[in-house]
Chains A and B, each alone.
Chain A
């Protein structure tokens, strides 16, 4: 009997059968829905100990290396469960799509995410990490618009940078004496600010860990590195965007929990992030971009939770449980929200608040299902956001971080204001007469929303199902009177303020600048410079060079020979001497820290190549 079958492989290998079922629509649809079901059965068998049980690893020997493809513990299982469950709902939502390769991209995306979740060593992690980035790129490009193509290009630029950073980090980490196993890096994280800013210390001890950290927080969309998320996600197709909301950021939370629990800078990054998303959501007019900013905001809670998750402390365990639980709940309610707005775009073809309004009477079921997602994300008691978000907030209280507590509570206010009030108000109400015709979306979309919304409510009413599978034992009573009353007051009075100020919250036909400005505007200027002045310069040189033969032909024979000799000399003797790569190489070789400088040069070359590749791509477009 086989020892274990990787749940991710069900998606990865299963994906390639999809195009073969072309023309047999019903069969293909059943097949695609069967894959998550199989993966779910696989996970259940794993937790029952039939396949590889918790606490075990599954190792594949490859070219002399031992690659840990399966590390099964409570943490990897909780993330695997939610990824698989959510993927079923997402495929149900998108099952009517006839483009096989869009399904293939989604399957590979989910499979590789499960690969990341079960990866026990850094090479395996990197391998699946890269597949994840590229598979999701194709989902964005299936938006099939000019802006989707541009956003996809920027998306992969950022993620390639993250990928190179991860690889470089892993290599340097190994060279600095780190192990290949993907365990917590906190022992190598600098303990004091003096260490963290001492260049020598950083170079010799934690440069690798820093780069790995950078790669992780890029995927977690931590500002200022997170603009790719709100840039790219809303450009995907209606169905593609649903997949994007779940996997990249939440797998980043998983690897952060695994690698950097209790790293205190994450607490502040997370709290700032939670508010950052809220502020941008006020200004946003694109309905799915507004929701995308709320992914950033919600992931902020998880990032802060990871930062507070110090090993071996009650508050730390509460924070890690909170971050994991919130990732679990977030995937479900965010899927409902994106599905709801996707349905609106599907039936109206409009995606801006300024172009929508008054269509409630055409799609009440979609509205109410959306509202379940909205109540969940806002943390209403009896919905799933309440039972997970409050754990992170409670942990900040246990640590006595008053500012963090206040920031996270404020972010809750902002979340309800936008996803629960402004957005549904603007889309379904706001005007007395509907702006356009609409109808309920196809049955499969409604069914997917229904199932996901049911799960949100189920977890909210009966949180024990989730609490039982969290990484640490849960000592938390979500429905304590204090929590319920405080949260209810907060949300009810948010509504009061919204109602008074609703006139200010109409969408405006604008876009909002985010940190992607830095590569969109100066980047474009560089291209313009290359196309304009630089091209003029080079063509001038070209022209002058072409004139040289005529000039030489006009000279007397003797002078010609002498000139030729000189040019020969210059090119064959002097120039090589000047550009003696061996000499340059030797100089670097003699540098103080030899090993490190090799790596730095390799990274530099890799980044240069990447840059050239990107520039080339942009020019070609």
Chain B
């Protein structure tokens, strides 16, 4: 299959629309049994996914730059 930017974006927008609508409709019409209060927010997972991803990238990069990342021959040099 040929992957084009256009195809990818179309699929992405459809997915975003579907998952958000599904979340809202499920809250309105289905009787779900969430364990935690935040699961009742229809778009909680979407927000958590987005924020979580950003936090993971920024926090890990900061940790790496400040401390953990070294040049490739670090173990040979030290």
B63 to chain A, nearest CB (A): 7
Residues of A within 8 A of B51 (CB): 497
Tell whether, in the assembled complex, residue B26 and residue A482 are in contact, meaning their CB atoms are under 8 Å apart: yes
Interface size bracket, B side: 35 or more
Q: A47-55, A116-124, A504-512: which one contacts chain B?
A: A504-512
B26 CB to nearest A CB, Å: 5
Q: Which of A86-94, A160-168, A406-414, A579-587 contacts B (4 or more CB under 8 A)?
A: A406-414
- A325 vs chain B, min Cβ distance (A): 20
The answer, among B20, B33, B46, B75, for a CB contact under 8 Å with A482, is B33
Query: Contacts A279-B63, A489-B19 hold; do A417 and B69 have CB atoms under 8 A apart?
Result: no
Interface residues of A in 384-416 (CB under 8 A from B): 397-398, 400, 402, 405-406, 409-410, 413-414
Complex formed: what's the CA distance from A324 to B19 in Å?
30
In the complex, chain A residues 467-502 whose Cβ is within 8 Å of any chain B Cβ: 481-482, 485-499, 501
A503 to chain B, nearest CB (A): 11
Decide: B12 and A495 in contact? CB cutoff 8 A: yes
Q: Number of residues in A with C-beta < 8 Å to the partner?
A: 49
Which B residues lie within 8 Å of A512 (CB)? 64, 68-70
Q: Which residues of chain A are within 8 angstroms of B19 by Cβ–Cβ distance?
A: 485, 488-489, 492
Chain A residues contacting B70 (CB-CB under 8 Å) are: 510-513
- Residue in B closest to A502 when the chains form the complex, CB atoms: B57
Q: Give the interface centre of B23, B47, B75 by most chain A CB atoms within 10 Å.
A: B75
Which of B26, B36, B53: most chain A CB closer than 10 A?
B53
Whole-angstrom CA separation of A569 from B5 in the bound complex: 91
Mark B31-72 against chain A: 1 for CB-CB distance below 8 A, else 0: 011111001000111111111111011011101100111111
Cβ–Cβ contact B49 & A493, under 8 A: yes
- Decide if B52 touches A410 in the complex (CB within 8 Å): yes
Inter-subunit contact A494/B52 (CB<8 Å):
yes
B1 contacts partner chain A, Cβ-Cβ < 8 Å: yes
In the complex, which residues of chain A have a beta carbon less than 8 angstroms from the beta carbon of B23? 485-486, 489
In the complex formed, the residue of B with least CB distance to A484 is: B22
B49–A492 contact, CB under 8 A?
yes
Cα distance A405–B12 when bound, in Å? 27
Partner of B61, one of A282, A397, A490: A282
| Contact B16 A492, beta carbon cutoff 8 Å | yes
Kindly state whether residue B28 has any CB partner on chain A within 8 Å: no
- Asked if A360 is an interface residue, CB under 8 A from chain B, the answer is yes
For A429, give the chain B residue with the smallest CB separation: B3
Interface presence of A524 (CB below 8 A): yes
**Contact A481/B60 with A413-B52, A486-B39 known, Cβ cut-off 8 Å:** no
Q: Which residues of B contact A504 (CB under 8 A)?
A: 57, 61
A278 on the B face (CB < 8 A)? yes
Tell whether A461 is near chain B: CB-to-CB under 8 Å: no
For B30, give its contact among A283, A398, A481, A493 (CB under 8 Å).
Answer: A481
Given A368-B1, A413-B53, A509-B72, output 18 extra A-B contacts at Cβ < 8 Å: A279-B56, A280-B68, A283-B60, A283-B68, A283-B69, A405-B35, A413-B52, A417-B53, A485-B22, A488-B15, A492-B15, A493-B16, A496-B12, A496-B16, A497-B54, A499-B12, A511-B72, A513-B70
Question: A-contacting residues of B (Cβ < 8 Å)?
Answer: 1, 3, 12, 15-16, 18-20, 22-23, 26, 30, 32-36, 39, 43-54, 56-57, 59-61, 63-64, 67-72, 74-75, 78
15 A-B pairs whose Cβ atoms sit less than 8 Å apart in the complex:
A402-B36, A413-B49, A413-B53, A417-B57, A482-B34, A488-B19, A488-B45, A490-B48, A492-B15, A494-B50, A494-B52, A511-B69, A511-B75, A512-B70, A513-B69
Q: Which 6 A-B pairs have the closest CB atoms?
A: A497-B53, A282-B60, A493-B49, A397-B35, A489-B45, A490-B49
**A binding-site residues for B, Cβ under 8 Å:** 278-280, 282-283, 360, 364, 368, 397-398, 400, 402, 405-406, 409-410, 413-414, 417, 481-482, 485-499, 501, 504-505, 508-514, 520-521, 524
